[in-house]
């Protein structure tokens, strides 16, 4: 028996209309879906009238589910891997499963679609020809400061994921370690309250309400450059 295929399926980061035709077809055809949160995935599946067995696959316990999922794949079943939103493995569970599937000779196929970093970058106004995706910074300020210092000479746009409650402190550390660079906070992407806040870091810190933003955010920081960005 030939093994099944592991499909890495990107799902909407907010607006359910961003689901691709291919993603809907694949989710409807696979034998089971490995998902970060079954409740979130059920909302999506119900929207598209898809009924499939769900396998809970989430951090930090994803390793416990890998043998089960590999067993299904080696038994000939196709499996889709999804996260709560966006592309699995990009600051979401998925990397370990993909690696173990490849080691077991299982075909891994990407089904591309929404991604918060790419969406924010495309509309940010910051340079897009070169960028560095960092993802979520460390939880403690000292570690964030060390990380930012290591990136001071990086020329590409720096892309971070942040809970909005940490935006103000993060920008303060950017100002301290990198200087007053141009920055963009992209908040609640593709949702009703989507917002792009652009300006020098010092100006963003002075904005009323910066400490009380809601939702999830992508923070984009200008890389090392002599060129000023003005809108």
User: Could you tell me which residues are beta bridge partners of residue 54?
Assistant: 33
Domain boundary among 93, 111, 129: 111
pLDDT for 62 = 80
**Per residue in 65-90, pLDDT tens?**
999 999 999 999 999 999 999 999 99
**What does the pLDDT average to over 95-103?**
96
**What does the pLDDT average to over 105-117?**
97
CATH number of the domain at 19, please. Answer: 3.40.1010.10
**Per residue in 50-68, pLDDT tens?**
999 999 998 887 888 999 9
pLDDT for 36 = 93
Instruction: List C-alpha distances in Å: 65 to 3, 47, 58, 59, 94.
Output: 18, 26, 9, 10, 11
- Detail the DSSP E strand segments found in the chain: 5-9, 32-35, 54-56, 79-82, 107-111, 131-135, 157-163, 182-187, 195-200, 216-221
DSSP letters of 84-148?
A: SSB-TTSSSTTHHHHHHHHHTT-EEEEE----HHHHHHHHHSS--SSEEEEESPPSSHHHHHHHH
pLDDT for 230 = 72
**Per residue in 155-172, pLDDT tens?**
999 999 999 999 999 999
Residues composing the chain? 231
pLDDT for 58 = 85
Number of domains into which the chain is organized: 2
Q: Are residues 87 and 10 in the same domain?
A: yes
Domain boundary among 111, 142, 177: 111
In a domain, 128, yes or no: yes
Is there a contact between 159 and 117 (Cβ–Cβ < 8 Å)?
A: yes
pLDDT for 89 = 93
Q: Are residues 105 and 10 in the same domain?
A: yes
Q: What is the mean pLDDT of the chain?
A: 95
CATH number of the domain at 193, please. Answer: 3.30.950.10
In a domain, 230, yes or no: no
Helix, coil or strand: residue 81: strand
Q: Are residues 97 and 170 in the same domain?
A: no
Decide if pLDDT at 17 tops 80.
yes
CA–chain centroid gap for 74, Å, is: 29
| Structural domain for 217, as ranges | 116-221
Q: Are residues 12 and 71 in the same domain?
A: yes
Q: What is d(CA 224, CA 151) in angstroms, rounded to the nearest whole number?
A: 9
pLDDT for 66 = 95
Q: What is d(CA 212, CA 165) in angstroms, rounded to the nearest whole number?
A: 7
User: Which positions ≥6 away from 46 have C-beta within 8 Å?
Assistant: none
Domain boundary among 82, 111, 140: 111
Q: What is d(CA 168, CA 95) in angstroms, rounded to the nearest whole number?
A: 30
Give me the percent of the chain exceeding a pLDDT of 90: 90
pLDDT for 61 = 79
pLDDT for 3 = 96
In a domain, 229, yes or no: no
């Amino acid at each position: 028996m030939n093994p099944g295929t592991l499909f890495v399926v990107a799902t909407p980061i907010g607006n359910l209309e961003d689901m691709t035709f291919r993603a809907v077809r694949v989710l409807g055809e696979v034998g089971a879906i490995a998902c970060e949160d079954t409740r979130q995935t059920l909302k999506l599946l119900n929207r598209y009238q898809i009924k499939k067995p769900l396998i809970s696959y989430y951090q930090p316990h994803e390793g416990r589910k890998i043998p089960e999922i590999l067993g299904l794949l080696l038994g000939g079943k196709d499996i889709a891997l999804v996260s709560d939103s966006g592309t699995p493995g990009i600051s979401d569970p998925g990397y370990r499963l993909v690696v173990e599937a490849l080691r077991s000779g299982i075909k891994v196929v990407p089904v591309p679609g929404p991604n918060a970093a790419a969406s924010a970058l495309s509309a940010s106004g910051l340079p897009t020809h070169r960028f560095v995706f960092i993802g979520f910074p460390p939880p403690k300020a000292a570690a964030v400061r060390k990380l930012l210092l290591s990136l001071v000479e990086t020329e590409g746009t720096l892309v971070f994921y942040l809970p909005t409650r940490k935006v103000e402190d993060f920008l303060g550390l950017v100002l301290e370690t990198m200087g007053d660079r141009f920055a963009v906070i992209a908040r609640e992407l593709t949702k009703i309250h989507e917002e792009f806040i652009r300006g020098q870091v010092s100006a963003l810190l002075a904005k009323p309400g910066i400490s009380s933003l809601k939702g999830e955010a992508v923070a984009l920081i200008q890389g090392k450059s002599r060129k000023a960005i003005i809108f």
